[in-house]
Amino acid sequence: GPLPLPLVDLTGLPRELRESTMRALLDAAARRPFCLEHGPLARVMLVRLGDQEHVCQVAAHHIVSDQITFHLFWHELGRLYAVEGAPAPVPALALQFADFAVWQ
């Protein structure tokens, strides 16, 4: 299913408190264990620090992701971010995970 993307807006805090608050939020989220029975096994959080300043945290259990997967994810996200709303430069995959699941 879809992965929720909570937005934590810290712009209401004084600027000098935003970064320390953001770091505490990200640290707490990173330390929260995953529930293997009920999931989700990946979490995303977006923290707004200013009108044009955001921090995105992605956490995933090691059974659904590894270092190569994270590298590919951030690389493709960077490519999508760089085109600023233009059509995605990432080609559609010939095989989707659902195809693999059906074969199993």
The average pLDDT across 51-70 equals 93
pLDDT at 80 over 90: no
Q: Is the torsion defined by CA of 13, 16, 22, 23 positive or negative?
A: negative
Closest CA to 29 of 15, 13, 44, 14: 44
The average pLDDT across 61-74 equals 90
Report yes or no: 48 and 6 within 8 Å, Cβ to Cβ. Answer: no
**55 confidence band (pLDDT: 50, 70, 90):** very high
pLDDT score of 100: 76
DSSP state of 37: T
Domain chopping of the chain, boundaries: 1-61, 66-104
**91 confidence band (pLDDT: 50, 70, 90):** confident
DSSP state of 93: P
pTM over 0.85: no
Structural element, H or E, at residue 55:
strand 53-60
Report yes or no: 89 and 56 within 8 Å, Cβ to Cβ. Answer: no
- pLDDT tens for each residue of 2-54: 889 999 999 999 999 999 999 999 999 999 999 999 989 999 999 999 999 99
